[in-house]
Structure 1
Amino acid sequence: MTQRIDLNSDIGESFGAWTMGDDAGVLAHVSSANIACGFHAGDPDTMRRTVELAARAGVAIGAHVSLPDLQGFGRREMKLGADEAYALTLYQIGALAGFAHAAGTRLRHVKPHGALYNMAARDAGLADAIARATHDFDAALVLVGLAGSELPRAGERAGLRVAHEAFADRRYEKDGSLTPRREADAVIEDVDAAVAQALAIAMRGEVATRDGAVLQLRADTICVHGDRPNAAVFAARLCAALRTAGLPVMAPGARRSA
């Protein structure tokens, strides 16, 4: 059993006149926020407002870096080389860091989004490029990646602190990968079932795979998807359940509960 757990959420995903999610509601119940940097969602004004919201809530701020895919919400794979992956990661970290600096705070972590996240989970070269960009920007940043995958391993090779991430509301395959979203049961819609999965991960370090096996899983942080229709309710229920189970909800490196 872990002694503490981070709850992170992907937020700041509105764009122009299009609004997604209840960011303020979610921020009341999580300890870390992964803010879209304009490549899969978000725009400069949304980035600014979301950073300010997170700073006021006392939530650790991270760059949610993505492939350049606004139309596909960053969920379509693209071929890219290591240099391109390095550059697009560094570019997005720098953009969000500017807003954090203006708000009197700083970035704490980096987490890839969508297709980039899943690609980096299995491709060591891509993972190394993301880790190198993160380290070159600020070696104190935490790199967040799928538990047990290539991305946290790349972060460790680069000398970064890493956070192995698990998902409350996603199904798992027997190899530890996430069930592809094209599958009908990839997302756990039922709040009670998702909370139960998160508790099993946090308390026992295990998760049931889609085929019924039990997978051992390290989790330093659990994701709450901000684009769920009931994201704020889910975040509140999950945070309360973890604290009732005796687990402080805290960002990596934090000294007090969020």
Structure 2
Amino acid sequence: MEEFNNLIRHKIDNTLPETYLDWFKNDLRCTLFLAHLINHLLVHEAYKGKKELIEAVSDFLRFNIYMFNHECSKNLSKYSVLYNRVGDWRTVQVLYVKSIYLKNRTKKYDWIDPKNDEMIDWIYDYLSREGHEHIILDKIFIPENTQEKYELILASLDVLSNVEDPSVGTKNKKGFSLRSYVLSSMKKAWDGQKSYEAKNKVDEWKVKVYKKNHAKLKALIAFSDFTDNQMINNSIEQMYDQLIKEDINDQ
């Protein structure tokens, strides 16, 4: 009984009550931010998908809260909303991080469409490429789908400072926060990419070939060694020359 009481006392004194985990237990974005604060302690691990990461971070905080308290401040960026907190050593730091994170996380990202697979993949690659390298938990968290990749992108923006810095910006214009500069640069790059694609996109029409002509088209392709598109477009050009051009010349 004495040993049992000692174990209970140890649990009370050294573990984080589960009620302090509820704010992130179903929120991958919050969990990613917390994992980033202790990423050097997770460097040898790999978590595939939301479920694995949330369970790992929850267990770490419950049983290693003293390590979190000691390490988390090393990875906290400069944020515009800060304040001091006092209280129970087990809970004070995780409550501080919760408040700081929720008050300072990224808000202006409406242009990012979580259901646009092409956009999410492009942004993920943009933030991962050499010279940018803003994606957090690289090779530690492996997203399983577009939604998880989207939340990883947001969490990666969340860890960036939202405090204006006179050294951040373009050569001719500085004074942005790192977060706002990355977001602005990323949006300009995406808009430029789509504008370029739109200008260079070839208009395409779909033409239905009647079933009775399928065999004829295949024979013509085999005879000419053209593709089906080349065959149809060459036929159009020839008919245009014979009918339209000749009529114009006659007139």
Normalising by the residue count of structure 1, what TM-score does the alignment of the two structures yield?
0.23
Bigger fraction of residues in helix:
2
Ranked by relative contact order (alpha carbons within 8 Å, sequence separation 6 or more), the top structure is 1
Between Structure 1 and Structure 2, the one with more strand by share is 1
